[in-house]
Structure 1
């Protein structure tokens, strides 16, 4: 399940909750665009016993767009073999997608701030969504989040 708009902190964002376990989720928030070439935002992961946040993920206009990746997954609602992956230019956010029988997509979200720093860390959660409608809604919500300046 995804939701666009105000979440519990009254800040605009997108929250993705696992349909199998709603306590597992990912939130995109705190979007800003300091220049016309990039969009910056925070990504938070939650699961029982885990809270992780990367404060400044950067999406450059020349990068492959997360929205396009999610739209392609939604279009392939009948399934695929193996894993598909997407990542930011800095690799501080990666997403891996697998398809399981019954028409569900597992999205493993990994945040890794300072990926090239010695002693860095990473955290991952997996959200399961319906391959068709929920993936389509997620792609649309992310597109709106990345495209609009929220007040």
Structure 2
């Protein structure tokens, strides 16, 4: 399940909760932009015993868009074989998707800021959503968030 207002402050955000375990989730928040070529934002992962945050994930206008990836998953609500994945240009955020029977999509959100740095870290959580409506809603909310539109 997704919600544009689960995040505790009044700035635009999107929160994704796992339908199998509501304590597992992902939040997109703290969006800002220096120019018209990119959008910067934070991604937080939460699960029992885990809180991880990447403060400056970057979406470039010329890059493959996360919303395009999510919209394609929503459109393919009847499922697919194997795993599909997307990542930011800097590879600090990766999203992998699998389809399971019953019409559910598992999205594994992986953060690995500074992937080339020695002593870097990584964390991931998996959220399960309904393949059609919940995936479509997520795609629309992420598109609004990245565009800076009020939700």
TM-score (norm 2): 0.96
Q: Which residue of 2 aligns with 1:2?
A: 2
Q: Deviations over 1:130-151 (max 9, x none)?
A: 000000000000000000166x
| Alignment-derived partner of residue 105 in structure 1 | 105
The separation in 2 between residues aligned to 1:44 and 1:100, in whole angstroms, is: 25
Other-structure match for 2:142:
142
Aligned to 1:64: 64
Shift of residue 7, structure 1, vs aligned partner: 2.3
Q: CA deviation at 1:83?
A: 0.2
Query: Which of 67-76 and 4-13 deviates more?
Result: 4-13
Counterparts of residues 25-40 of structure 1 (less than 5 Å): 25-40=25-40
| Mapped pair 1:14 → 2:14 | yes
Q: Any gaps of 5 or more consecutive residues in structure 1?
A: none
1:39-118 map, 5 Å: 39-118=39-118
Contact residue 32 and residue 149 of structure 1 kept, 8 A: no
| Aligned partners of 2:14 and 2:141 also within 8 Å | yes
Tell me, in whole angstroms, the C-alpha distance in 1 between the residues paired with 2:69 and 2:124.
18
Q: Which sections of structure 2, spanning at least 5 residues, go unmatched?
A: none
Q: In structure 2, what is the Cα distance between the partners aligned to 1:149 and 1:81? A: 34
Aligned length: 150
Runs of 4+ in structure 1 deviating by more than 3 angstroms, as ranges, are: none
Matched, 1:127 2:127: yes
- Greater strand fraction, Structure 1 or Structure 2: 1
TM-score calculated relative to the size of structure 1: 0.96
SS at match of 2:73: helix
| Aligned-residue RMSD, C-alpha | 1.1
